[in-house]
Amino acid sequence: MKVEKNAIILAHYYQTGDIQDIADFVGDSLALSQKAASNNADVILFAGVKFMAETAKILAPEKKVLLPDINAGCSLADSCKAGDFEGFIKDNQGRTIVSYVNTNAEIKALSDIICTSSNAIQIVESLPRYEKIIFAPDRNLGNYVLNKTGRDMVIWNGACHVHEEFSLEAIIKLKKENPDAKIIVHPECELPIRMVADYIGSTSSLLQFTMKDNGKCYIVATEAGIIHQMKKENPGKTYIPAPPRDSTCGCSECSFMKLITMEKIFNCLKNEKPEIIIDMDVLLKAQKPIRRMMEISEKLGL
């Protein structure tokens, strides 16, 4: 069907291993955005969550973009509604709006520039030193960028349900049990988790770290789906998912990401729905800040 329909399957690192293995391309938000903007397919099937499929449609409006489950949302994106954000902008006028890619199309359309966790620091540092900034919607990534850059930033109070659920006590206990393990952490995690980290980075950056580092064991504080790629790249190493505060909830996995299944992908490609449709006015407004991010990333070799 992929050949017949000239389709490409893009998958995020947080998908299950079987989906990552059948995808044409697997990556983090920045790499997936770049791939969505540059491919020869007529149809993009996005194995990820809705804001990612929306980003693909914004960057490739002429293509048909499919999402196997339209309910695959994002707790972080849901924490920032367009009406509320418009009020926040009015209360903080005169600031450049830097929005994380983990937002819906309407928030992107209100923004001046988009960032991902791979390039957030570089995007902020690319702006003139005097420029005042609104950063939305992740408070933990925002504070991480603020601490790294020292810029004048006001930060929207949003968060990711996965990255806020890691237990500091459980991680410290794991470290005692595995003294040679390195704690690697996504910047969406809370400050106490970041403070015990041996390395902080985006999903792809954490993967690259485990590939290049000479260590043998890692405690991984991000969505557990990335461990599939880590094992593929370095099967001889040990990867331990950081435990959530509630050990019964499975919070180290994103429930939205896991809504996508092989069966849904098959049916989605077969029926060519659900399809992502975005109002053209919103799409064109959202395109500008994403393109601006990609231009800066390209200049910096990211």
Dist. CA 273–CA 74, nearest whole Å: 20
Q: What is the pLDDT of residue 281?
A: 98
Please determine whether the domains at 2-72+258-277 and 76-155 fall in the same fold group of CATH.
yes
CA torsion angle 129 131 136 142 (round to 10): 30
Report CA-CA distances (Å) from 251 to 123, 183, 271, 272: 30, 18, 32, 31
pTM given for the model: 0.93
Query: What's the topology of domain 168-253?
Result: Rossmann fold (3.40.50)
User: Residue 131 corresponds to which tokens in the numbers above?
Assistant: 């420029």
Distance between CA atoms of 278 and 105, rounded to whole angstroms?
8
Query: So what's the pLDDT on residue 249?
Result: 53
Question: In this predicted structure, what is the pLDDT of residue 248?
Answer: 57
* CATH assignment of 2-72+258-277, among 3.90.930.60, 3.40.50.10800, 3.30.70.20, 3.30.565.10: 3.40.50.10800
Name the 3-class secondary structure at 115.
strand
Which parts of the chain register pLDDT below 70? 247-251
Domain ranges within the chain, ordered by starting residue: 2-72+258-277, 76-155, 168-253
CATH of domain 76-155: 3.40.50.10800
CA distance 9 to 152: 40
CA-closest candidate to residue 185, choices 173, 198, 171: 198
Supply the pLDDT for residue 284: 97
Per-residue model confidence (pLDDT) at position 251: 57
